[in-house]
Amino acid sequence: MAMASPSSAGLEGETERVSPPKGAITHVIFDFDGTLIDTQPFYTLVQERILSRFGKPYDPSIEAKLMGKKPTESARIFVEETGLAGLLTPEGFLEERNAMLTELFPSSQLLPGEFSKLPILGLLFLFLIPLYLHFGCLNGTLALITGVKRLVSHLHANGIPMCVATGTYKHNFEVLTQNHGETFAMMHHVVLGDDPEVKKRKPAPDVFLIALKRFEGNVDPSEVLVFEDAPSGVAAAKNAGMSAVMLSDAGPDASAYKQADQVLSSLLDFKPSHWGLPPFKDTVI
Ligand SMILES: O=P(O)(O)OC[C@H](O)CO
Ligand SMILES: [Mg+2]
């Protein structure tokens, strides 16, 4: 598929337009970390703290080297690359990092900053609500909640089965979602990184194919739309024969853009009707 560069976006925040697929999308699979919830700020904070304890500087370029790796492998790379070798073992680093993350994870927020608009909402209300009431110029209700919460609620209300397919392990998933029970209760199921059936991590298709199998009935991969933030996740979805929307504002490598069917800077730019899904009935302000 021909790719448009981010700078030639047709719509704001969208790097490529798609035509609705021939076979309608009937099921949706969400990646978790970086798509529904973002743990990267927590990892950055914790790793900065550990390094500063040893008087070492934090270089953000380390994060790309850790992406998609198993915890034990990423700990080994981190200790070696940051000069902690001899001061802290990979196991010691993991233990310290996990303890700090467990403290921070319950404060996770759904993406993309579901309440990011709140500071300006008051001002907008002053102008928009009287207009709305007077002219009835907006079709339907106003969406105060955006992003993940809006999309998941919308698909659930329209009977589109959804699930989560993630490399995140059970313990972390439970801590990260403990304050988002309502949203995750709308998922038909969740396939976790330490699920015994998942033999190979993304970019292998395993986690998506197992997620597919756990939906009711016989669902064809071509009927599934996957939301992913990582190049390896997009590759996994394509390897599973599914369509993939990549959520990325960080400009990852070009190969990831080539594989994704659509690249959006966030879920705020997602239009269900592009994929033959029921359109939103509310209007985001
Ligand atoms: O992006 P996810 O949901 O597959 O999660 C990846 C994990 O955070 C990394 O192990
Ligand atoms: Mg992810």
Task: Answer yes or no: is 1 within a domain.
Answer: no
Protein residue with its CA nearest to atom 1 in ligand 1: 33
Ligand closest to 168 (CA) is 1
Atom from ligand 1 closest to the CA of residue 164: 3
Distance 10 CA to ligand 1 centre (A): 30
Which domain range does residue 74 map to? 40-107
pLDDT above 80 (res 118) = no
Q: What is the pLDDT of residue 124?
A: 58
Beta bridge partners of 147: none
pLDDT above 90 (res 16) = no
> Is residue 30 domain-shared with residue 75, that is, in the same domain?
no
> Is residue 155 domain-shared with residue 238, that is, in the same domain?
yes
> Is residue 230 domain-shared with residue 185, that is, in the same domain?
yes
Ligand closest to 229 (CA) is 2
Catalytic residues: 31, 33
Q: What is the pLDDT of residue 145?
A: 74
> Is residue 72 domain-shared with residue 15, that is, in the same domain?
no
C-alpha span between 153 and 157 (Å, rounded): 6
pLDDT, tens digit (0-9, with 9 covering 90-100), for 158-187: 999 999 999 999 999 999 999 999 999 999
pLDDT above 90 (res 139) = no
Single out the residue in 61, 82, 107 at which a domain terminates. 107
Distance 202 CA to ligand 2 centre (A): 10
Beta bridge partners of 191: 165
C-alpha span between 236 and 229 (Å, rounded): 12
Q: What is the pLDDT of residue 99?
A: 94
Residue with the two structure tokens 């990092």: 97
pLDDT confidence of 250, banded at 50, 70, 90? low
Task: Answer yes or no: is 153 within a domain.
Answer: yes
Q: What is the pLDDT of residue 276?
A: 93
Q: Is 167 in the pocket of ligand 1 (CB under 6 A)?
A: yes
Atom from ligand 1 closest to the CA of residue 36: 3
Distance 31 CA to ligand 2 centre (A): 5
User: 133: domain CATH number?
Assistant: 3.40.50.1000
> Is residue 13 domain-shared with residue 75, that is, in the same domain?
no
> Is residue 79 domain-shared with residue 169, that is, in the same domain?
no
pLDDT confidence of 6, banded at 50, 70, 90? very low
C-alpha span between 114 and 284 (Å, rounded): 12
Distance of CA 274 to the CA centre of its chain: 19
Taking residues 224-245, report their average pLDDT. 95
Residue with the two structure tokens 């996740």: 233
Q: Is 230 in the pocket of ligand 1 (CB under 6 A)?
A: yes
- What is the reported pTM? 0.81
**DSSP secondary structure code for residue 267 in this structure:** G
Between residues 20 and 81, the one the model is more confident about: 81
C-alpha span between 244 and 222 (Å, rounded): 10
Q: Is 231 in the pocket of ligand 1 (CB under 6 A)?
A: no
Task: Answer yes or no: is 164 within a domain.
Answer: yes
C-alpha span between 254 and 236 (Å, rounded): 16
The amino acid at residue 162 is M
Which of helix, strand or coil describes residue 91? helix
Taking residues 15-39, report their average pLDDT. 79
> Is residue 164 domain-shared with residue 189, that is, in the same domain?
yes
Q: What is the pLDDT of residue 57?
A: 95
Residue with the two structure tokens 């950055």: 44
Single out the residue in 107, 122, 141 at which a domain terminates. 107
> Is residue 27 domain-shared with residue 119, that is, in the same domain?
yes
> Is residue 83 domain-shared with residue 182, that is, in the same domain?
no
Q: What is the pLDDT of residue 24?
A: 87
> Is residue 47 domain-shared with residue 183, that is, in the same domain?
no
pLDDT confidence of 282, banded at 50, 70, 90? confident
Judged by phi (left if over 0) then psi (alpha if -120 to 50, else beta), residue 147 lies in left
pLDDT, tens digit (0-9, with 9 covering 90-100), for 197-234: 999 999 999 999 999 999 999 999 999 999 999 889 99
Q: Is 16 in the pocket of ligand 1 (CB under 6 A)?
A: no
Q: Is 34 in the pocket of ligand 1 (CB under 6 A)?
A: yes
Single out the residue in 107, 125, 140 at which a domain terminates. 107
Ligand closest to 35 (CA) is 2
Q: Is 33 in the pocket of ligand 1 (CB under 6 A)?
A: yes
Distance 168 CA to ligand 2 centre (A): 9
C-alpha span between 285 and 272 (Å, rounded): 18
Give me the number of domains the chain comprises. Answer: 2
> Is residue 148 domain-shared with residue 48, that is, in the same domain?
no
ipTM above 0.90, yes or no: yes
Query: What is the pLDDT of the chain when averaged over all its residues?
Result: 84
Which contacts (CB < 8 Å, 24+ apart) does range 169-176 have?
169/71, 169/193, 169/194, 170/194, 172/39, 172/101, 172/105, 173/32, 175/102, 175/105, 175/106, 176/37, 176/39, 176/105, 176/106, 176/108
Between residues 18 and 40, the one the model is more confident about: 40
> Is residue 202 domain-shared with residue 258, that is, in the same domain?
yes
Q: Is 32 in the pocket of ligand 1 (CB under 6 A)?
A: yes
User: 74: domain CATH number?
Assistant: 1.10.150.240
